[in-house]
Amino acid sequence: MKKFVKLFSTLSDETRLRIYLLLLKGKLCVCELVTILNMEQSRISHSLRILKEAELVDNQREGRWIIYSANPKMIKSKIIQGLKKEVMLSITDSKNFDKCKKEKIREKCKIKQSI
């Protein structure tokens, strides 16, 4: 029961829900999420920490970068399957995701960071 309360509590926040829906679409780093959502890095990082504590999100280090993804074990749950079916990304978030991937924002962030 506590696991479900944690899950619903975590996803009841709009920012965390938006981040999770984006991660269901594909892997992203913080700088990509900042670009897509047009939010402060600290807010994104805080939300990712909460999503990770709820076991909704995994992360993996790639060089200096941490790449976030939806936890594959959770994706299989009926609750998350229902969420994917019933709750859609906003058109803006979806377009920004596609634009971010097309423009290779992660690579541009690496260039900025290495200067």
In this structure, the dihedral spanned by the alpha carbons of residues 48, 54, 56 and 61, taken in order and rounded to 10 degrees, is 50
CATH code where residue 51 lies: 1.10.10.10
Indicate the pTM of the whole model.
0.86
Structural domain span for residue 104: 2-114
Res. 21 pLDDT band, cuts 50 70 90: very high
42-97 pLDDT, tens digit per residue, is 999 999 999 999 999 999 998 878 999 999 988 878 878 888 788 888 899 889 88
What number of other Cβ atoms are within 10 A of residue 30's Cβ?
19
Q: How many domains does the chain have?
A: 1
More confident residue, 109 or 102: 102
HSE of 66 in the Cβ direction (CA atoms, 13 Å)?
9
